[in-house]
Chain A
Amino acid sequence: MTDQSGNHHVDEGRKILSVEDLHVAYGAVKALRGISFSVKAGEIVTLIGANGAGKSTTMNCIMGLVKCQAGKIVFLDEDIANMHAFQIVRKGLSLSPEGRRLFLNLSVRENLEIGGLITLDKGKKQELLDEIFQLFPRVKERLTQIAGTLSGGEQQMVAISRAIMQNPDLLLLDEPSLGLAPNLVQEIFEKVQILNSEGKTILMVEQNAFQALRISHRAYCLEHGELNIKGTGAELLANPKIKEAYLGG
Chain B
Amino acid sequence: MINPYWELVIFLVMINVIFTLSLNLILGYNGQFSLGHAGFLAIGAYGSGVATTALGLPLFAGVLMSIACCIVAAVIVGYPCLRLGGDYLAIATLGFAEIIRIVLLALPEKTFGGATGMQNIHNIYDYLPVPAGAHNGIINLIFTIVFSVVFLALTIWGVFALGNFLNGVLQKRFGGNFWRYIVWAGFVVLIIANLSGTKGTASVSAKPGIAGYVMDIFQFSNAMKQPSLESRQWLVFLIYGLIVLAVNQLIRNFLNSVPGRGVVAIRENEIAATNLGINVFWLKLQNFMLGCAFAGLAGALLAHTIPLIKPIEFGFLKSVDVLLMVVLGGMGSMTGSFVGAVSISVLPEVLRGVGEWRMVLYSLVLILFMLFKPGGIFGTNELSDIFRLPWLKRGRDAEASDA
User: Residues of A with Cβ closer than 8 Å to B?
Assistant: 63, 65, 84-86, 89-90, 94-95, 97, 101-107, 109-110, 113-115, 117-119, 140, 143-144, 162, 166
Contact = CB atoms under 8 A, between A and B. Distances in A.
Contacts of B280: 86
Interface string B262-284: 10110011011111111110000
A118 B268 contact: no
Name the residue among B258, B276, B403 with the largest chain A CB count within 10 angstroms: B276
B384 interface: no
B400 interface: yes
Given A118-B277, A144-B396, A103 B258 contact: no
A118 B262 contact: yes
B271 A90 contact: no
Contacts of B265: 103, 114, 117
B258 A118 contact: yes
A8 to B, nearest CB: 15
B403 A109 contact: yes
Contact of A102 (B258, B272, B274): B272
Contacts of A166: 276-277
B356 interface: no
Contact of A162 (B271, B276, B278): B276
Given A117-B261, A117-B277, A103 B399 contact: no
User: What bracket does the count of chain B residues touching chain A fall in?
Assistant: 20 to 34
Contacts of A162: 276
A166 B261 CA distance: 15
A86 B279 contact: yes
A85 B271 CA distance: 9
Given A101-B269, A143-B403, A94 B261 contact: no
Contacts of B264: 103, 106, 110, 114
Contacts of B274: 65, 85-86, 89
Contact of A105 (B261, B380, B400): B380
Contact of A113 (B261, B268, B279): B261
Contacts of A109: 399-400, 403
Interface of B: 258, 261-262, 264-265, 268-269, 271-280, 380, 396, 399-400, 403
Contacts of A63: 275
27 contacts: A65-B275, A84-B279, A86-B274, A86-B279, A89-B274, A89-B275, A89-B277, A94-B276, A101-B269, A103-B269, A104-B268, A104-B269, A106-B264, A109-B403, A110-B261, A110-B396, A117-B258, A117-B277, A118-B258, A118-B262, A118-B276, A118-B278, A140-B403, A143-B400, A162-B276, A166-B276, A166-B277
B403 A144 contact: yes
Contacts of A85: 274-275
Given A97-B271, A117-B265, A143-B403, 14 more contacts: A63-B275, A65-B271, A85-B274, A89-B274, A97-B275, A101-B275, A103-B269, A106-B264, A109-B399, A110-B261, A113-B261, A114-B265, A117-B277, A119-B276
Contacts of B403: 109, 140, 143-144
Contacts of A115: 276
A132 to B, nearest CB: 13
A103 B272 contact: yes
A115 B269 CA distance: 12
Contact of A114 (B261, B396, B400): B261
A19 B401 CA distance: 46
A89 B352 CA distance: 57
